[in-house]
Amino acid sequence: MEQAPGFITAGEENLVYRATKTLYGMMAGVHDREKKLSKTYNSVGYYQSKADLCVQHWVIDGEYMLDVTYTNDVIGGSTNKKERLKAIGKLQGVYSIKQIKGEGKTDIF
């Protein structure tokens, strides 16, 4: 590790800062965020897919809720509007959620 150009102080060229917590953009930050997100999903009743760790699902009384995460984005679907609103409410207790309204289609590549 070395100091960034333009931020080098004379006599302290060999010194660098050590991060005590992860920050957005750091590799460890992605790992820590995923760990927190998985813990949150588990605490509200979701199960994580063993085939793809980005897929979370929830089945209650025959109603199915499915969420897929990719970096900062989550797309979800459900078989029942009531269960969808219930799941969103539980997640809003932990995260700030911005919902896209409507019944639009999503293209997945």
pTM for the complete prediction? 0.60
Higher pLDDT, 96 or 51: 51
Q: In the prediction, which pLDDT does 39 show?
A: 87
DSSP codes joined into one string, 37-72: HHHHHHHTT-EE-SS-TTEEEEEETTEEEEEEEETT
Q: In the prediction, which pLDDT does 102 show?
A: 63
Overall CATH class of domain 29-92: alpha beta
Check whether 103 has a pLDDT greater than 70. no
Each residue of 69-90: pLDDT tens digit? 877 778 888 888 887 888 888 8
For 32, residues 6+ apart whose C-beta sits below 8 A from its C-beta are 22
Structure tokens at 87: 């799941």
Q: What is the mean pLDDT of the chain?
A: 79
What residue segments make up the domains of the chain, in order of their start? 29-92
Q: What angle do CA 80, 83, 86 make, to 5 degrees?
A: 150
